Amino acid sequence: MKILITGGCGFLGARLARTLLAQGRLSMCGAEPRDIARITLADRVPPPADLQQDPRIAFVQGDLNELLARGQGPQPDTALVFHLAAAVSGECEADFDLGMRSNLDATRALLEACRALGTQPVVVFSSSVAVFGSSPQQALPPVIRDDTLPTPQNSYGIQKFIGEQLVADYTRKGFVRGRNVRLMTVSVRPGRPNAAASSFLSGILREPLAGVRARCPVPPETAVALSSPAATVAGILRAAEAGDGDWGARTAVNLPALTISVRGMVEALERVAGPAAAALIDWEPDPSIAAIVTSWPSRIDSARAAALGLRADASFDDVIRAYIHENRDAVKLPLERS
């Protein structure tokens, strides 16, 4: 089996690639497991060193639209595509054209390339909880279900929802076998902050653990829907593995979420790492970020995901402990209780 991961050198793409390599085999859409022969990572930046050294990894570098225009997207023997590449929420608000090119034009071009293969490859599209948004004219229901009407309130959410509909229609027409999954905010992400409005939901944990001050731009009582890196990758993989009957409708599946307040996240940090970590957080409101984040839902009923065997993280304390275990070199603060 040959697999393409767009955005494959980013945090989630690289983690997904490592998980696939460790498995060595994959059961796609309920079929018998097949050996993974090659994983192609398409991204603007090179892969981490460990992935570069694996002979099963190939890499194509560049802007996804340009790669697709040069025929460097899915090849005739590509069976499975994980489409993770995207411009994130904050940069889409700051640069409308960037978001449209990266999130809409690239998604359609990728689907067209898959259609041209004539082999109906499986396409797993990473959508987002940002397809849901609350406004004074149309408030969100208290709990979001798989069949709740998306009402995005920012360009990123709108582009992701359009992507879902494109994947659904290319699936209806028999061009691909599409699977739309709505990712929750992933925390704790390692590495550097990015331009996502939700970036601080990792930063208020990652930076204090590194002994660096962090800024929280929303009120402590702000409730959010989170998923650990491990749970997120498990959901993405399950989308590829599930049989058509188990997957169900062409509409998107909401991945499971752990609902917690920002105050609760900081309290978990203090329980795991001690008060010195929590003391490194500066509560400095940013109305523009707060407007985006507080418009997103925090309570998710993931019935379809549960039927596929997926579960939310049970404890945010454990999510922080997993981050510390996996990123020892990034943790500089002396830990009191880890």
pLDDT digits (tens, 9 = 90+) for 272-320: 999 999 999 999 999 989 988 888 899 999 999 999 999 999 999 999 9
Residue 238's nearest CA partner among 145, 308, 167, 314 is 308
Using DSSP's 3-state secondary structure scheme, residue 27 falls into coil
Catalytic (active-site) positions: 156
Q: What per-residue confidence (pLDDT) applies to 195?
A: 75
Domain boundaries, the chain: 2-184+228-254
pLDDT band at 338 (very low <50, low <70, confident <90, very high): very low
| Residue 309 and residue 237 in contact, taking contact as beta carbons nearer than 8 Å | no
pLDDT in tens, 87-112: 988 899 999 999 999 999 999 999 99
Percent of the chain with pLDDT over 90: 90
- Which pTM value belongs to this model? 0.94
Percent of the chain with pLDDT over 70: 99
Q: Residues 140-144: what's their mean pLDDT?
A: 94
pLDDT in tens, 25-52: 999 999 999 999 999 999 999 999 999 9
- From residue 10, give the alpha-carbon distance in Å to each of 36, 42, 62, 148: 20, 10, 13, 30
Q: What CA–CA distance (Å, rounded) separates 27 from 33?
A: 4
Among 3.40.50.720, 3.30.1360.70, 3.40.50.970, 2.40.37.10, what is the CATH number of 2-184+228-254?
A: 3.40.50.720
Q: Residues 225-249: what's their mean pLDDT?
A: 97
| Residue 186 and residue 16 in contact, taking contact as beta carbons nearer than 8 Å | no
> 276 phi and psi, to 5 degrees?
-60, -35
| Residue 217 and residue 197 in contact, taking contact as beta carbons nearer than 8 Å | no
pLDDT band at 337 (very low <50, low <70, confident <90, very high): low
CA contacts within 13 A on the Cβ side of 178: 32
Residue 235's nearest CA partner among 178, 296, 189, 182 is 182
Residue 89's nearest CA partner among 98, 79, 78 is 98
| Residue 103 and residue 92 in contact, taking contact as beta carbons nearer than 8 Å | yes
pLDDT at 336 over 70: no
Q: What per-residue confidence (pLDDT) applies to 332?
A: 86
Q: What per-residue confidence (pLDDT) applies to 137?
A: 92
Helix axes 262-273, 200-209, angle to 10 degrees: 20
Q: What per-residue confidence (pLDDT) applies to 193?
A: 83
